[in-house]
């Protein structure tokens, strides 16, 4: 693997994810999730926003002190006080990173009421300050995808010259589309002096449901860090889902030849833990980690799956940490699946017996959303009693 093939995974479940209204996690829960992320091979963990509260500070500090291999990053606005507080929280990490940001689009520039020149000076001052504290500095122009190209090039160049080692390009409001996301990274790589010496990151929100596609398009154009969260947790419609980009790069490595360091077999467990501690349930049909992502009910699909799993599955359930595909028995199920399910339950039926049981199974299935193993056992026992 060359440097060109490696994509770093930056997880921000504990910072951007936790900013999702109602997703607050306790200190112990944050330490637990950070530990799972570290063990899973995530490269950078954004542990929180230390100046936001004493609780956030303590969580970032605790995570920095426990981390084994991941870089631990804290967020800071573009002012010296935020950056100092961030450094205080992360300085004991084996690999600390300061992430500082400011909104650069016309709408965001209006909030602190800074002129373009004043903002450029602020960026120079704050990135220089962060770099004097820490060798690893990430800088983000918030709302980059709605910032004028010329101004974006100008401020990215300033941040690089001031010592930023990673430049993150946020699509803060989930506004961009894949072709544009790629073009923005290409434009920065072409026009900004020094751009080939730093890592470009992509940070996408999912307001139009394009976060994963936008992140992958940015990678194809040269970004080498994807910012994401477990289950796509995040403000509004959420952030790029970590499990989606990791599995997309694994399953479609033929057309996207990039590697991550993430052990995908740990995805299901961490997804369940994040859902439990954040209180945000995972939708049933969520890609990769949804309850139905590896479940089949229709007769045609079940029959195909029993003959060759590749007919209706592009990933093996084991690759995401599930033990097996879930063949769900319901009114769409066919004879082949019923025979196989009953055989698993210890009932090996001849053709005539199966015919009779299948009729009674369909009558039952018409009344229920799902026919469970216990229902099938009861069905077999009723049949015995009637015989």
- Phi, psi at 48, each rounded to 5°: 155, -165
The one of Zn ion, ligand KIV, none whose footprint includes residue 271, by CB under 5 to 8 A per kind, is: none
Contact at 8 Å (CB) between 381 and 374? no
Work out how close the CB of 18 gets to ligand KIV at its nearest, in angstroms, rounded to a whole number.
12
Closest-CB residue for ligand KIV?
170
356 annotated to a ligand binding site: no
How many Å is the maximal CA-CA distance in the chain? 89
Strand runs labelled E in the chain: 8-11, 44-48, 71-77, 96-103, 137-142, 166-171, 199-204, 225-228, 295-296, 326-327
Taking the least distance from each CB to Zn ion, the nearer of 96 and 174 is 174
Residue 108 or 296: the one with the smaller Cβ distance to ligand KIV is 108
Distances (CA, A) of 180 to 5, 183, 184, 210, 216: 22, 5, 6, 12, 12
Buried b (16+ CB within 10 A) or exposed e, 294-304: bbbbbbebbbb
Residues 275/290, Cβ–Cβ less than 8 Å: no
Gyration radius of the chain's alpha carbons: 25
Contacts (CB under 5 A) with Zn ion, residues 3-22: 16
Measured from the CB atom, the residue of 16 and 29 that comes closer to Zn ion is 16
Chosen from Zn ion, ligand KIV, none, partner binding at 109 (C-beta under 5 to 8 Å by type): none
Smallest separation, CB 373 to ligand KIV (Å): 45
Could you tell me the two tokens for 33?
Answer: 């999730």
Residue 142 binds: one of ligand KIV, Zn ion, none (C-beta under 5 to 8 A by kind): ligand KIV
State the pairing for strand pair 44-48/326-327.
unpaired
239 marked as binding residue:
yes
**Residue 352 CB neighbour total at 10 angstroms:** 8
For the bound state, the minimum distance from the C-beta of residue 80 to ligand KIV, rounded and expressed in Å, comes to 18
Binding site for ligand KIV (CB under 6 A): 16, 101, 140, 142, 168, 170, 172, 203, 205
- Residue 108 labeled ligand binder: no
The strand pair at 137-142 and 96-103 is best described as parallel
Q: Least Å distance between CB 69 and Zn ion?
A: 24
The answer on whether 203 is annotated among ligand-binding residues is: yes
Nearer to ligand KIV, 101 or 200 (CB): 101
Least Å from the CB of residue 48 to Zn ion: 14
Distance from C-alpha of 145 to C-alpha of 160, rounded to nearest angstrom: 19
Nearer to Zn ion, 170 or 331 (CB): 170
Applying CB under 5 A, which residues contact Zn ion?
Answer: 16
Q: Residues annotated in the binding site, as ranges?
A: 16, 203, 205, 239
Binding residues for Mn(2+): 16, 203, 205, 239
């Amino acid at each position: 693997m060359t440097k060109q093939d490696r994509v770093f995974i930056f997880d921000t479940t504990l910072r951007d994810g936790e900013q999702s209204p109602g997703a607050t996690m306790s200190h112990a829960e944050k330490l637990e999730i950070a530990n799972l992320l570290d063990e899973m091979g995530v490269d950078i963990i954004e542990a929180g926003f230390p100046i936001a509260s004493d609780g956030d500070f303590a969580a970032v500090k605790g995570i920095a002190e426990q981390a084994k291999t991941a870089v631990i990053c804290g967020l800071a606005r573009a002012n010296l006080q935020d950056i100092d507080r961030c450094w205080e929280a992360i300085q004991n990490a084996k690999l600390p990173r300061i992430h500082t940001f400011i909104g650069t689009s016309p709408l965001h520039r209006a909030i602190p009421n800074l002129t373009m020149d004043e903002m450029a000076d602020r960026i120079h001052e704050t990135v220089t300050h962060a770099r004097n504290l820490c060798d690893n500095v990430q800088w983000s122009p918030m709302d980059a995808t709605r910032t004028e190209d010329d101004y974006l090039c100008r401020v990215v160049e300033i941040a690089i010259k001031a010592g930023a080692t990673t430049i993150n390009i946020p699509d803060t409001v989930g506004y961009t589309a894949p072709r544009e996301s790629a073009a923005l990274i290409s434009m920065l790589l072409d026009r900004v002096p020094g751009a080939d010496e730093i890592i470009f990151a992509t940070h996408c929100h999912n307001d139009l449901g394009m976060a994963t596609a936008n992140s992958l398009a940015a990678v194809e154009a040269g970004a080498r860090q994807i910012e994401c969260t477990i289950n796509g947790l995040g403000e509004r419609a959420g952030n790029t889902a970590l499990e989606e980009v990791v599995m997309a790069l694994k399953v479609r490595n033929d057309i996207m030849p990039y590697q991550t360091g993430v052990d995908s077999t740990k995805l299901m467990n961490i997804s369940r833990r994040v859902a439990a501690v954040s209180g945000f349930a995972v939708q049933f049909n969520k890609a990769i980690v949804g309850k139905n992502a590896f479940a089949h009910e229709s007769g045609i699909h079940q029959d195909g799956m029993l003959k060759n799993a590749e007919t209706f599955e592009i990933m093996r359930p084991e690759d995401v940490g599930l033990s097996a595909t879930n063949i769900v028995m319901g009114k769409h199920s066919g004879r082949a699946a019923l025979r196989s399910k009953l055989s698993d339950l210890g009932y090996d039926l001849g053709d005539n017996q199966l015919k009779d049981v299948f009729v009674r199974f369909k009558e039952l299935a018409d009344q229920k959303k799902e026919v469970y193993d216990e229902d099938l056992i009861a069905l077999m026992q009723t049949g015995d009693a009637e015989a």
